[in-house]
Amino acid sequence: MGRFVSPVLGLKFYFLSLLSLIFCFLSLTTVFAQNIPPVPDPPRLVNDFVGMLSTTEIQSLERKLVEFDDTTSNQIAVVVVKTVEPYDMNMYATKLGREWGIGHEGKNNGVVVLWATDDRKIYISPGYGLEGALPDAYAKRIVDRIIIPLFRESRFYEGLEKGTDAIMQYTTGEFEAEPDEVGEFPVWAFILMVIVIFIIMRAISKGGRGGGGGGMRRSSAWPYTTYTGWGQHSGNWSGGGWSGGGGGWSGGGGFGGFGGGSFGGGGAGGSY
């Protein structure tokens, strides 16, 4: 005969198991929630929770970012933490951007520049409205070519200064675009364009054979060679900073606070 188990004991076992699962879930949720710092009060665009930057450096970077917000409405928040554990950099930056509401509601034009000092990682995460102006490839380029080389030399402020300059130049004037209207030029569209141009040029060359072959020589002048790709951006931020700064910050009432922007999980980063 099988061993008899009291229904009451069985219910107690399942009840205790359920309570244990709920407790574990709540504990894990609490750990995750506590790891994201609360919205700063008063609000600031530069938030160094570790003490890596001097007061002068924080004030200088804050003034520049406030002026950029006043001029373009795009908000760039620099956040320095010790570690993003138990998150990864992308998840942490996205969650922080959403909880703080970086950017303006309806425009979603915020950017999080996240630096985890103990993890030795840096990450750039754009809001929905700036993913077209600052796609992952551009964010990765800024991190790898500008910020990380300076961080490896312990020139942390200079890395943040030049990195935010590059972000400013990419995002200037782009906040009007809606999330579904912005994006990188599709590869398939470019290939289709090349094929169409090839067919047109072949038709032109066949039509001009009576001219002694000159048409064929002209057909080698591909119109699409004017496409520059990265070239349209490559020189923007190499000239010494954001051009909108002019003669320096003109003052004003300071940063007015985050406006409720949202983030979709885009961005790129790296380790130094």
Tens-digit pLDDT string for the chain (272 aa): 556 555 555 555 555 555 555 544 444 444 444 489 999 999 999 999 999 999 999 999 999 999 999 999 999 999 999 999 999 999 999 999 999 999 998 899 999 999 999 999 999 999 999 999 999 999 999 999 999 999 999 999 999 999 999 999 999 854 343 444 444 555 666 687 888 887 888 777 766 555 444 444 444 443 433 333 333 333 344 444 544 443 333 334 477 788 877 898 899 999 99
Separation CA 147–CA 163 (nearest Å): 6
Q: What is the pLDDT of residue 216?
A: 41
Q: Is 209 part of a structural domain of the chain? A: no
Does residue 81 lie in a domain region? yes
User: What is the DSSP code string of 152-171?
Assistant: TTT-HHHHHHHHHHHHHHHH
Residue in 104, 97, 118, 120 with CA at minimum distance from that of residue 37 = 97
Instruction: Give the count of domains, the chain.
Output: 1
CB-based contacts of 70: which residues, under 8 Å, 6+ apart?
252
pTM over 0.75: no
Among 226, 228, 204, 223, smallest CA distance to 215 is for 204
224 assigned to some structural domain: no
Helix or strand run (H / E) with residue 217: helix 214-219
b/e 83-102 (16+ beta carbons within 10 angstroms → b)? ebeebebbebbbbbbbebbb
Strands 75-81 and 46-48 come out as: parallel
> Is residue 199 included in any domain, yes or no?
no
Please state, in angstroms and as integers, the Cα–Cα distance from residue 125 to each residue in 45, 167, 175, following that order: 15, 11, 15
Distances (CA, A) of 135 to 111, 132, 139: 11, 6, 6
Per-residue model confidence as pLDDT tens digits over 68-94: 999 999 999 999 999 999 999 999 999
* Adjacent-strand bridge partners of 255: none
Within a domain: 24:
no
Does residue 218 lie in a domain region?
Answer: no
In a domain, 13, yes or no: no
Q: Would 262 be classed as within a structural domain?
A: no
Its domain, for residue 71, covers: 46-174
Nearest residue to 95 (alpha-carbon basis) of 262, 272, 242, 244: 262
As a whole number of Å, the end-to-end CA separation of the chain is 67
**Token digits for 3?**
């061993």
pLDDT at position 8 is 54
Q: Which residues pair with 47 in a beta bridge?
A: 79
Tokens at residue 199, please? Answer: 């067919």
Write out 58-109 in H/E/C secondary structure: HHHHHHHHHHHHHHHCCEEEEEEECCCCCCCHHHHHHHHHHHHCCCECCCCC
CATH number of the domain residue 116 falls in = 3.10.310.50
